[in-house]
Homo-oligomer: A and B are copies of this chain.
Amino acid sequence: MHTEPIPIKWNESTDVIVIGSGFAGLSAAIEAAEAGAEVMVLEKMKIKGGNSLISDGALAVAGSDWQVRDGVKDSPKRMQSDMQAAGLGLNHPELAALVTRESRNILNWTIDHLGVRYMDRLDQLGGHSVPRSVTTHNNSGVAIVRKQLAHLKSLQVNIRTRAYLTSLLRDSQGVVRGVAYRNGYLFGQPDSGETMTLAACKAVILATGGFGADVPFRSVQDPRLDERIAHTNHRGATAEGLIAALKLGATPVHLSWIQLGPWACADEKGFGKGASFVSYAVFSGGIIVNPETGERFVNELADRKVRADAILKTGQICIGVVDSAGAARGEEMLAPCLKRAYVQKFNHLNQLAEAYGMPAGRFLATAKRFNRAFGDRKQDEMGKPLLPGTGPIVDPPFYGVRIWPKVHYTMGGLRINSRAEVIDLAGKPIPRLFAAGEVTGGFHGASRLGSCAIPECLIMGRLAGKSAVKR
């Protein structure tokens, strides 16, 4: 609770300290190191990569080569407008503008500078008004993190794992001068490791991620999200980095806006393969129904908040349904999902209805109405856009998956400006403290659109790294 006195003698010293080794932290470290600074990355877990390791590797980009090739008309302004519609206007406009404007550059940076490879496919994810999401070749954030780590190795940047931030240290003028941390920390054991101090000659960059796995912290902001609600994050997605900055008087924004992932599979833990299958195959190529009624109740491509709220409102674990043509959109997830019974296979739709206890007649009528919209190329009854390459649910086998939302993302966090400086309660930057990624707030307002987080993390991480060495 108190400002720690700065130590007379530090254990160690470097130019730039980065806390966290996900997309944002690694991007910051790359930029600072490339600018010639000595950089130390502290990562509390045993492995590097944080939550980014289990992300699906999708980037929303306005103006990618894929869009140009496919003739998709898009612009940063259009992407920002989609983000702000989902965000209910709570988004900080200058931050949303920055991410959309830089989205094309950051994609190219991952390709040209890091060597990341992408699938030759453009997806239209929920809440986006056009297809604009590209996805790493293996449908995982690992594809990016691995390249970032390799690049940092070539830059001889030190990443210290099992190093847990305990406080940000500043001098009597309020300038952040370094950190205290526990070295040799074991996750979940608060007294493990030994306390060390590390001085930062230039800056400290917080890239500690969100707090979706931090039940005490998240349930103060949203009491519904207690320990009974699952989450899709790694277990280290906790709030201590955010709290360390709030203790210095950083401004919190939007902390109570916590996103539930509407595509979460009820039968697996964490984010998982089932969620990817639902997101890529079911929601774009199929439908979701309430098993009690056998009917649809939401546009499967609405934004995440609209869909999650609609599912919760049914009070039922809902059933995603897709045919074999639709399932091909999530091909790489299908086999492992079937193996673990996250997804089930049926030869006939009425077998599927029976398996999930649905009224078969009403369910078949629902599917018929959905299919008819394709025949006429007319408006779907739930307002779902009929995407190119999708069609009616007619080709056996058919696939079913049980869907129930999980905590996925925390929109809220530290207030920053367009230079990634952390802003205090008086509206002024906290000297030498920067932040990037999910620990910050304001970009997404009430609800983040899918595939907008990775560009944000990469763009703002790089920006923080540049700002940190600029002085």
Residues of B within 8 A of A174 (CB): 1-2
Label chain A's interface by main secondary structure.
Answer: loop
Are the C-beta atoms of A253 and B93 separated by less than 8 Å? no
A residues 199-254 touching B (CB-CB < 8 Å): 216, 220-224, 243, 246-249, 251-254
- Name the interface residues of A115-174: CB closer than 8 Å to any CB of B: 172, 174
Instruction: Please report the C-alpha to C-alpha distance between residue A248 and residue B425 in the assembled complex, in whole angstroms.
Output: 12
Q: Which of B89, B221, B412 contacts A224 (CB 8 A)?
A: B89
A3 to B, closest residue via Cβ: B3
Query: Are A90 and B222 interface neighbours, CB within 8 A?
Result: yes
**Interface mask (A78-105 → B, CB under 8 Å = 1, otherwise 0):** 0000000000011111000000000000
Chain B residues near A253 (CB-CB < 8 A): 220-221, 255-256
Q: Whole-angstrom distance between the alpha carbons of A216 and B424 in the complex? A: 13
In contact, B3 and A224 (Cβ under 8 angstroms): no
Contacts of A93 in B (CB 8 A): 223
CA distance A218 to B275 in the complex (A): 37
| Interface residue A8 (Cβ < 8 Å from any Cβ of B) | no
**Contacts A247-B249, A254-B256 given; does A1 touch B222 at CB 8 Å:** no
Shortest CB-to-CB span from A226 to chain B, Å, is 11
Measured in the bound complex, the distance between the Cα atoms of B252 and A257 in whole Å is 13
Residue of B nearest to A411 (CB): B256
Contacts of A92 in B (CB 8 A): 223
Across the interface, A256 reaches (CB within 8 A) one of B172, B249, B257, B426, namely: B257
Residues of B within 8 A of A1 (CB): 174, 248-249, 424-426, 430
Query: Which residues of the partner chain B approach A2 to less than 8 Å between Cβ atoms?
Result: 3, 172, 174
- Interface residues of A, CB < 8 Å — how many? 35
Q: Which of A239-293 contact B (CB under 8 A)?
A: 243, 246-249, 251-257
Tell me if A223 and B256 are in contact (CB < 8 A): no
Confirm or deny: A415 has a beta carbon within 8 angstroms of a beta carbon on chain B.
Answer: yes
- Is A427 part of the contact surface with B, judged by Cβ < 8 Å? yes
Q: Which of A413-440 contact B (CB under 8 A)?
A: 415, 424-427, 430
With a cutoff of 8 Å between Cβ atoms, the chain B residues found around residue A412 in the complex are 256
Residues in B neighbouring A415, C-beta threshold 8 A: 220
Closest-by-CB residue of B relative to A423 is B220
Q: Which of A3, A224, A248, A424 has most chain B Cβ within 10 Å?
A: A224
Min Cβ gap A220→B in Å is 6
Q: When chains A and B are docked, how far (Å) is the Cα of A50 from the Cα of B221?
A: 28
* Across-interface contacts of A216 in B (CB, < 8 A): 427
Q: Is the CB of A90 within 8 A of B223?
A: yes
List, in ascending order, chain B residues with CB within 8 A of A254's CB. 221, 256
The reply to whether A90 and B425 form a contact with Cβ atoms under 8 Å apart is no
Q: Which residues of B contact A425 (CB under 8 A)?
A: 1, 243, 246-247
Tell me the complex Cα distance, A3–B3, Å: 7
- A243 partner residues in chain B, CB cutoff 8 A: 425-426
CB neighbors of B among A43-94 (8 A): 89-93
Query: Are A251 and B90 in contact (CB-based, < 8 A)?
Result: no
Closest to A94 in B: B223
Contacts of A426 in B (CB 8 A): 1, 243
Contact between chains at B90 and A256 (CB < 8 Å): yes
Per the bound structure, the CA–CA distance linking A53 and B223 in Å amounts to 33
Contact of A223 among B89, B247, B251, B427 (CB under 8 A): B89
5 closest Cβ contacts across the A-B interface? A1-B249, A243-B425, A89-B224, A254-B256, A247-B249
| A contact residues vs B (CB 8 Å cutoff) | 1-3, 89-93, 172, 174, 216, 220-224, 243, 246-249, 251-257, 412, 415, 424-427, 430
**Assuming A90-B224, A243-B425, what are 4 further A-B pairs, CB within 8 angstroms?**
A2-B174, A220-B253, A246-B249, A246-B252
In the assembled complex, 20 residue pairs joining A and B whose CB atoms fall closer than 8 Å, in A order, are: A1-B248, A2-B172, A2-B174, A3-B3, A89-B222, A90-B224, A91-B223, A92-B223, A220-B251, A221-B254, A243-B426, A246-B246, A246-B249, A246-B252, A246-B425, A247-B249, A252-B255, A253-B256, A255-B256, A256-B412
